[in-house]
Amino acid sequence: MTTTTAIPTVRVDWSLNVAHRLRQLRRWQREWQEQDDLLNHRLEQLDPGKNIDIQRGEQITRLQQRLRLSLVREPIEVSPDSVEQAGYEALRQDLAGQFARLTKVERLLWLHNFLFIMTPDLRRLNDKIVKVRAYRSLGQQRNFLLGGPSGMGKSTYLDWFAANHIPQVKATYTRVPVIKIDAPVSNKTPKPLFQRMILECGMTYSPRDNEEDLLMKLTLFLHRCQTELLIVDEVEHITHSQIRRRLLEISNLTRGIPIICASCHPSTGVQATRRSLAAGTTTSS
């Protein structure tokens, strides 16, 4: 079942209450710290001499990196229309008055807001991704190629989006609604690509697994985990046509799970990826 509930944000307008926002940040920090301590404890119990524990360690480390963005679960959203309506100068004076009463500790906590800010461009991107996910419930496949220069916030947004859709442990399985990986630099075989996706499913693989073994396992895991969206960042690293075809094959074998491919160089090296995803692809830059 596909769910596309909008993720709440906090707009910069007259309704922004600094004291209330700080209470939110404190609660998220406590929850994040508890999760991080638990994950660190699990890391300490792993045996680096065992291949399966090495894989578990990579899973935990990647989850820790992503969960840091849960410190700003509901990000500040900057909307030019809201700021203009409130009046920039009057709004600035109101917020300055609230900030002036903060202690040093509170000001440091406030900096968590800058881990991720929902800008107008990122809001449009978020709304488009919500639509792409909704298409699948209508029986349609929509892939998505996201391009833009480095530093504009693509990867941070995608990490934040994935952090808001973390795995959910059920009685008989683990639901992983969103899988997000960075494309491997190695381009000799699709195996590293499949292996990263399998780990993001919360599963493991055998070093003896060949390419077909990994693909069959991945297909099974994606079905079992009820994955709704697959994100591949830094897709410019995928230069071999064979690996690009394998990427599209994953979507075809899993009832059309939409794939988002993100690149810092949309005009160099990813045009072939765009052609590979041409069937039902949406583009944005």
Q: Where do the domains of the chain lie, and which CATH numbers do they carry? A: 1-118 (no CATH), 120-285 (3.40.50.300)
Q: What is the pLDDT of residue 27?
A: 98
Give the CA distances from residue 42 to residues 11, 39, 60, 167, 215, in Å, rounded to whole numbers and listed in that order: 37, 5, 8, 17, 28
Highest mean pLDDT: which range of 82-91, 106-115, 136-145: 106-115
Do the beta carbons of residue 133 and residue 117 sit within 8 Å? Answer: no
Alpha carbon distance 197, 181 (integer Å): 7
Do the beta carbons of residue 169 and residue 197 sit within 8 Å? Answer: no
Q: What is the pLDDT of residue 239?
A: 83
Q: What is the pLDDT of residue 252?
A: 81
Q: Give residue 280's pLDDT band: very low, low, confident or very high (50, 70, 90).
A: very low
Paired tokens of 232: 């591949």
Q: What is the pLDDT of residue 72?
A: 95
Q: Is the pLDDT of residue 275 over 90?
A: no
How many residues does this entry show for the chain? 285
| pTM beyond 0.85 | no
Q: Tens digit of pLDDT for each residue in 201-221? A: 999 999 999 999 999 999 999
Q: Cβ–Cβ contacts within 10 Å for residue 64, how many?
A: 15
Q: What is the pLDDT of residue 25?
A: 97
Task: Summarize the confidence of residues 22-31 as an average pLDDT.
Answer: 97
Do the beta carbons of residue 201 and residue 176 sit within 8 Å? Answer: yes
Alpha carbon distance 90, 106 (integer Å): 23
Q: Give residue 91's pLDDT band: very low, low, confident or very high (50, 70, 90).
A: confident
Q: What is the pLDDT of residue 170?
A: 79
Q: Tens digit of pLDDT for each residue in 27-68? A: 999 999 999 999 999 999 999 999 999 999 999 999 999 999
Alpha carbon distance 264, 10 (integer Å): 28
